[in-house]
Amino acid sequence: MSALKTVSENKAFGGVQGVYSHASAETKTEMTFAVFVPEHEDGARLPVLWYLSGLTCTHANVMDKGEYRRLASELGLIIICPDTSPRGDAVPDDDAYDMGQGAGFYVDATAEPWAANFRMRSYIERELPALVANEFPADMKRQGIFGHSMGGHGALTIALRNPGRFKSVSAFAPIVSPINCPWGHKALGGYLGADQSTWRDYDTCALIDDGARISDILIDQGTADQFLEEQLKPNLLVAACERVAIPLTLNMREGYDHSYFTISTFMDDHLRWHAERL
């Protein structure tokens, strides 16, 4: 396991907001991630909540704008915020914001030129959890996961592919069916190739239709979200959950958009949802 490097550590609400990096075997790059650890007794193990960010973001967006530390400290939750893709001069990229660096879509790419580095599925599902378990006071038997937009897609699909690992799942404005939206066709077609049967592992609705299950889901979606109709399509998730009786709480938030103003407004609701289940 690669050595953990401390980029920064700052005291906040009695705990420590840290930023760390390490050499990733999966992405073959240096990866940076943020971890908030609340104040705790020596030897204590705390529940872990993963936050996956959306297109163009790094670990820093939610760390700077998400406003999670006060309540996470009160609830005793470790919050882990990975990056959204590998980065570096030698890493393939695209001029568009929705492909390449900053747009990893939490997949293991199989198509060129992406296959060597874009292995965010394996990084989030295996490599980073092993590092977190080794380096932080994390109780890996009590894990939850949530995210925003592309990260909401990541959170839902990762939870569905790993039954029993996550006791709680939620999302802000997730991409629920990449197979049925332009972002998904571009990203999954680019990273995985044209055979759409290989895309189903990365589509929440398809995973549910193929038999994957989670106990319940919380979604917050703004009605003024500019991506609602073309890209996000929460109605598809509603239908998929209804078909198999997965409890879904979908809050349509009047007037809210796709930004961190929305995420920070409803962050406390999501932290409490996860804390109840962890």
Catalytic site positions: 149, 225, 258
Contact (CB, 8 A) for 142 and 96? no
> ∠ CA 261-263-267 to the nearest 5 degrees?
125
Q: Rounded to the nearest 5°, which phi and psi values hold at 110?
A: -120, -15
Max Cα-Cα span within the chain? 52
Q: Cα(147)–Cα(58) distance, rounded to whole angstroms? A: 13
| Other Cβ atoms within 10 Å of 177 Cβ, number | 22
DSSP state of 175: -
In sequence order, the 6+-apart residues with CB closer than 8 A to the CB of 14 are: 38, 39, 73
Q: Cα(219)–Cα(150) distance, rounded to whole angstroms? A: 14
Tokens of 27: 């992405």
In sequence order, the 6+-apart residues with CB closer than 8 A to the CB of 112 are: none
In sequence order, the 6+-apart residues with CB closer than 8 A to the CB of 159 are: 145, 165, 166, 169, 214
DSSP state of 196: G
Cα-based torsion angle of the residue sequence 37, 42, 48, 51 in order, rounded to the nearest 10 degrees: 10
